[in-house]
Amino acid sequence: MGAASVEAMHGAESTAGPAADTAAGTAHEGAAALLAAARGGDERAFAALVGRHRRALHLHCYRMLGSFDEAEEALQDTMVRAWRSLHTYAERAPLDHWLHRIATTTCLRAAERRRRAPVSVAEVEQLQPYPDVLLGELDPAVVVEQREAVALAYVAALQLLPATQRAVVILREVLAWSAAEVAGYLGSSVAAVNSSLQRGRATLAARVRRRPERPLSAYERELVRRFVRSWERCDTEALAELLRADAVLRMPPQPMEIHGPQAIAGFYATVPAGGRWDLIRLVETAANGQPALAAYLPDLAGRGGGGPLHAYGVMVLTVTEQGIAEITGFPDPALPARFGLPPIISAGYFRRDR
Residue closest to 101 by CA, chosen among 138, 144, 64: 64
**Per the domain annotation, does 346 fall within a domain?**
yes
pLDDT score of 137: 85
If asked whether residues 126 and 242 sit together in one domain, one would say no
If asked whether residues 136 and 232 sit together in one domain, one would say no
User: pLDDT per residue over 243-287, tens digit each?
Assistant: 999 999 999 878 889 999 999 999 998 887 666 787 889 999 999
If asked whether residues 323 and 198 sit together in one domain, one would say no
Structural element, H or E, at residue 63:
helix 54-65
Strands 290-298 and 281-287: antiparallel
Strands 243-251 and 323-330: parallel
Where a domain ends, among 207, 237, 266?
A: 207
If asked whether residues 101 and 191 sit together in one domain, one would say yes
- What does pTM read for this prediction? 0.85
pLDDT score of 146: 73
In whole angstroms, give the CA distance from residue 115 to residue 117.
Answer: 7
pLDDT score of 16: 47
If asked whether residues 146 and 243 sit together in one domain, one would say no
CATH number of the domain residue 286 falls in: 3.10.450.50
**Per the domain annotation, does 298 fall within a domain?**
yes
In whole angstroms, give the CA distance from residue 231 to residue 251.
Answer: 18
Domain assignment of residue 320, given as a range: 217-353
If asked whether residues 203 and 57 sit together in one domain, one would say yes
If asked whether residues 236 and 202 sit together in one domain, one would say no
User: pLDDT per residue over 132-153, tens digit each?
Assistant: 999 888 877 676 667 788 999 9
Q: pLDDT in tens for each of the 354 residues of the chain? A: 544 344 444 444 444 444 434 433 443 667 788 888 989 898 999 999 999 899 999 999 999 999 999 999 999 999 999 999 999 998 888 999 999 999 999 999 999 988 677 778 877 889 999 999 998 888 776 766 677 889 999 999 999 999 999 999 999 999 999 999 999 999 999 999 999 999 999 999 998 876 654 555 788 889 999 999 999 999 999 999 999 999 999 998 788 899 999 999 999 988 876 667 878 899 999 999 999 999 999 876 554 556 889 999 999 999 998 999 999 999 999 999 999 999 999 866 654 444
If asked whether residues 194 and 61 sit together in one domain, one would say yes
Sign, Cα dihedral of 318, 324, 326, 331: positive
pLDDT score of 23: 36
If asked whether residues 144 and 61 sit together in one domain, one would say yes
If asked whether residues 153 and 102 sit together in one domain, one would say yes
Buried b (16+ CB within 10 A) or exposed e, 66-95: bbbebbeebbbbbbbbbbeebeebeeeeeb
* Domain tally, the chain: 2
If asked whether residues 202 and 240 sit together in one domain, one would say no
If asked whether residues 29 and 151 sit together in one domain, one would say yes
**Per the domain annotation, does 212 fall within a domain?**
no
